Amino acid sequence: MTDATLPAAPPPEAILEAALYADDLDAAQRFYSDVMGFEELARVEGRHVFFRVGQTVLLIFNPAATVHGSSNAALPVPAHGAQGPGHVCFAASRSDIAAWHTRLTAAGHPVEAEFDWPNGAHSLYFRDPAGNSIEFAEPRLWF
């Protein structure tokens, strides 16, 4: 089928959840709760820990556990996942990014890069304990 022959469907409203992967869920939980200040929503020991981030959810999965689908017939989540570091970007104002720079540095998480894009939007990059690339950026980077 080509796009012209596909049935119509409305575009998604937003991204509801995003996933990163971490072998050490305890270290991920401490980082995202204590350093990032995110509210923990759910945890299944050895498999995942989930956090609320505004109107979205950040899923942190153990990649060794998610190569297998759910064993719960009522929740037939298929196998999924990735290997290696991923990336997620959180929206923040320039002044909030400056505050995050100070907080991250004080918590022992060095900033990897910080700069202005050609359109003037500001970004700050750092790594979580699993090596995922985490970014704060002004929304005007894209909008």
Three-state helix/strand/coil letters over 1-37: CCHHHCCCCCCCCCCCEEEEECCCHHHHHHHHHHHCC
Residue 91 lies in a domain: yes
Looking up residue 116, the CATH number of its domain turns out to be: 3.10.180.10
Per-residue pLDDT tens digits for 85-140? 999 999 999 999 999 999 999 999 999 999 999 999 999 999 999 999 999 999 99
Residue 45 lies in a domain: yes
pLDDT at 53: 97
Confidence of residue 81 (pLDDT cuts 50, 70, 90): confident
Quote the pTM value: 0.91
Please give the residue range of the domain that contains residue 115: 12-66+84-141
